[in-house]
């Protein structure tokens, strides 16, 4: 009598009895494969449409604005002569009432490409500027085991002087210096420091290996160091803004000429773009004419060498025959 009639279902019991059907993997695969193929077809159609669509034409940049207020991205960036740009930096300082002895910087973009896939490796260099702009003195360490040479190094301002006993302290970072100088006699004993010092390891190419200790100390205590960043950028300071304009120009040209020595003259110039600025001003793009060193003589020499090689080839062939 308490049993429900046939066909009756108690409230809530229908949801409990309704068990969702389980789809087997075999039956689900065709639908998944069809969905993936549909997605691939959609991606292909989008790519084809993108290829068929013509590239958007960019409006050519105008050369010189006619109004005082204008959109900078519509115009080419103006370039200035070096003397004019330095004068503008000095004028900016007067108008903005900023520190008159602030540093002047240059940003140099480099073309490191050589033949095919070869390129100039990132480098660092030290150069003696014609006009010093800071009283800072670099810390120089001298490697020598000769007592007389050690005394000479101390007299000429070496920060640290010593021999093999310094290797342990340098490897443990107990002694650090801006530059490391050595005499030829001690070089075989300094091999453990090659990986530690890397570019600062004494070498004749960097003029940090030699017998003239006073000359090396004078150069490295007062030299200016710069290095390539991000594979093709050099950012370095060159002067102070209160220096005479001709002194700022001389320092800039000295650094640029030193940079140009790291790429053979028969390739395109390594300096691709040059910007000058002060610590508080905007950057001014410089016209490279008159700043980069001349290479006409080098080109003429290469042409003469090529002509000499052409003349020598028939002689060599006749000798071989």
Share of the chain above pLDDT 70, in %: 74
Same domain, 266 and 144: no
Please indicate, yes or no, if residue 114 is contained in any of the structural domains.
Answer: yes
Min mean pLDDT across 58-72, 122-136, 273-287 is at 58-72
Same domain, 112 and 249: yes
Same domain, 155 and 202: yes
Same domain, 117 and 253: yes
Please indicate, yes or no, if residue 17 is contained in any of the structural domains.
Answer: no
Please indicate, yes or no, if residue 19 is contained in any of the structural domains.
Answer: no
Query: Quick one: pLDDT at residue 314?
Result: 43
Contact between residue 250 and residue 130 where contact means Cβ atoms under 8 Å apart: yes
Query: Quick one: pLDDT at residue 37?
Result: 73
Give the residue-averaged pLDDT of 190-199. 94
Structure tokens at 275: 């910007």
Q: Is the model's pLDDT at 233 over the cut of 80?
A: yes
Query: Quick one: pLDDT at residue 275?
Result: 97
Determine the structural domain holding residue 157 and report its residue range. 140-223
Q: Is the model's pLDDT at 303 over the cut of 50?
A: no
Share of the chain above pLDDT 90, in %: 62
pLDDT bracket for residue 304 (50, 70, 90): very low
CA-to-CA distance for 291 and 82, rounded, in angstroms? 8
Query: Quick one: pLDDT at residue 103?
Result: 97
- CA-nearest of 267, 128, 127, 126 to 200 is 126
Please indicate, yes or no, if residue 135 is contained in any of the structural domains.
Answer: no
- CA-nearest of 279, 235, 277, 241 to 259 is 235
Same domain, 149 and 196: yes
Give the residue-averaged pLDDT of 16-35. 54
Contacting residues for 140 by C-beta, under 8 A, at least 6 apart = 157, 158, 159, 177, 178, 179, 180, 181, 216, 217, 220, 221
- CA-nearest of 4, 232, 26 to 119 is 232
Q: Is the model's pLDDT at 78 over the cut of 60?
A: yes
CA distances for 58 relative to 51, 78, 209, angstroms: 18, 20, 55
Query: Quick one: pLDDT at residue 260?
Result: 95
SS3 278: strand
Of residues 11 and 176, the one with the higher pLDDT is 176
Where are the alpha helices (H) located in 101-193, listed in sequence order?
147-155, 166-171
Contacting residues for 147 by C-beta, under 8 A, at least 6 apart = none
Query: Quick one: pLDDT at residue 302?
Result: 46
Of residues 65 and 97, the one with the higher pLDDT is 97
Q: pLDDT (tens digit, 9 = 90+) per residue, 254-269?
A: 999 999 999 998 899 9
Q: Is the model's pLDDT at 300 over the cut of 50?
A: no
Give the residue-averaged pLDDT of 180-191. 96
Please indicate, yes or no, if residue 74 is contained in any of the structural domains.
Answer: no
Give the residue-averaged pLDDT of 240-253. 97
Mean pLDDT, the chain, rounded, equals 83
Give the residue-averaged pLDDT of 305-313. 44
Examine the fold and report which residue of 174, 190, 223 is the final residue of a domain before the chain moves on.
223
Same domain, 196 and 175: yes
Query: Quick one: pLDDT at residue 298?
Result: 43
CA-to-CA distance for 157 and 267, rounded, in angstroms? 41
Query: Quick one: pLDDT at residue 2?
Result: 52
Let me know how long the chain is. Answer: 321
Query: Quick one: pLDDT at residue 251?
Result: 97
Contact between residue 238 and residue 104 where contact means Cβ atoms under 8 Å apart: yes
Q: Residue 250 maps to which CATH number? A: 3.30.190.20
Same domain, 110 and 147: no
Contacting residues for 144 by C-beta, under 8 A, at least 6 apart = 150, 153, 161, 162, 163, 182, 183, 185, 186, 213
Min mean pLDDT across 27-41, 104-118, 212-226, 292-306 is at 292-306
Query: Quick one: pLDDT at residue 76?
Result: 81
Examine the fold and report which residue of 196, 223, 250 is the final residue of a domain before the chain moves on.
223
Same domain, 214 and 148: yes
Same domain, 255 and 192: no
CA-to-CA distance for 74 and 59, rounded, in angstroms? 8
Same domain, 181 and 204: yes
Of residues 117 and 129, the one with the higher pLDDT is 129
Min mean pLDDT across 79-88, 153-162, 306-315 is at 306-315
Q: Is the model's pLDDT at 281 over the cut of 50?
A: yes
Same domain, 158 and 208: yes
Contact between residue 143 and residue 180 where contact means Cβ atoms under 8 Å apart: yes
Same domain, 154 and 209: yes
Examine the fold and report which residue of 192, 223, 254 is the final residue of a domain before the chain moves on.
223
Q: Is the model's pLDDT at 311 over the cut of 50?
A: no
Domain count, the chain: 2
């Amino acid at each position: 009598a308490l049993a429900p009639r046939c066909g009756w279902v108690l409230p809530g019991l229908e949801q409990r009895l309704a068990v969702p059907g389980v789809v087997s993997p075999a039956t689900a695969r065709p639908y998944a494969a069809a969905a993936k193929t549909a997605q691939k077809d959609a991606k292909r159609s989008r790519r084809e449409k993108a290829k068929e669509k013509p590239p958007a034409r960019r409006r050519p940049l105008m050369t010189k604005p006619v109004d005082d207020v204008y959109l900078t991205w519509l115009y080419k960036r103006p370039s200035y002569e070096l003397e004019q740009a330095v004068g503008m930096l000095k004028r900016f300082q007067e108008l903005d009432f900023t520190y008159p002895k602030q540093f002047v910087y240059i940003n140099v973009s480099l073309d490191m490409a050589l033949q095919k896939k070869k390129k100039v490796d990132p480098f660092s260099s030290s150069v003696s500027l014609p006009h010093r702009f800071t009283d800072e003195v670099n810390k120089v360490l001298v490697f020598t085991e000769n007592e007389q040479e050690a005394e000479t190094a101390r007299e000429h301002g070496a920060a640290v002087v010593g021999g093999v006993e310094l290797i342990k302290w340098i490897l443990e970072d107990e002694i650090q210096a801006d530059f490391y100088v050595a005499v030829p006699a001690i070089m075989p004993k300094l091999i453990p420091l090659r990986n530690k010092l890397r570019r600062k390891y004494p070498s004749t190419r960097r003029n940090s290996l030699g017998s003239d200790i006073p000359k090396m100390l004078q150069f490295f205590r007062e030299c200016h160091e710069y290095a390539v960043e991000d594979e093709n950028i050099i950012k370095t300071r060159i002067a102070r803004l209160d220096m005479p304009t001709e002194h700022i120009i001389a320092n800039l040209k000295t650094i640029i000429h030193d940079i140009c020595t790291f790429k053979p003259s028969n390739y395109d110039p390594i300096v691709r773009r040059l910007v000058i600025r002060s610590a508080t001003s905007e950057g001014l793009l410089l016209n490279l004419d008159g700043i980069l060193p001349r290479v006409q003589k080098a080109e003429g020499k290469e042409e003469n060498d090529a002509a000499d090689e052409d003349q020598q080839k028939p002689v060599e062939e006749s000798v071989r025959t």
